[in-house]
Amino acid sequence: MAINYEDLEDRFNCACDDAVKELSIRYDSDYRSQGPGKLNSFLEVIQWHFDNVETGFIEQNVLVRDDEAFRRIKTIARTFAKRCIDDYSKLR
C-alpha cells in the first residue's frame, strides 16, 4: 500500500502545531517568570519535546521502514524545533 506523503505531512504538521501550543503554555506557566536564566533549560525542553513528538509519530504510523516518510517527518520536526528555538531565543 502506497503512503500518501501529503496526508502524512499534514497530520504531522498538526502534531507539531499542537506541540508549539503545549510549549507555549509550558513556557508561560513554568519559565516566563523565572527570567532569562531559565531560558536555556526551556530551549532544551523544546528540542526534547519535538524529538518525542517525532518518535511517537514515526512509531504510531510505522514509518521506520519507509525512508522517504522518515526523512520528511524528521525534516518537519527539525524545522518546527528550529523555529521555536529561534523565536524563544529572541526573548533574552
Residue 30 corresponds to which amino acid?
D
CA 36, CA 55: separation in Å to the nearest integer?
30
Angle at 10 between CA 9 and CA 13, to 5 degrees: 85
pLDDT in tens, 65-80: 889 999 999 999 999 9
Compute the average pLDDT of residues 49-71: 92
pTM recorded for the entire structure: 0.87
Q: Report the alpha-carbon distance of residue 35 to residue 88 in Å, rounded.
A: 12
- For 3-47, the pLDDT digits (tens) are 899 999 999 999 999 999 999 999 999 988 887 778 889 999 999
Q: Residue 33: CA atoms inside 13 Å, Cβ hemisphere, count? A: 5
Per-residue pLDDT at 25: 95
Q: Which residue has the higher pLDDT, 81 or 33?
A: 81
Alpha-carbon dihedral 79, 82, 84, 90, rounded to 10 degrees: -140
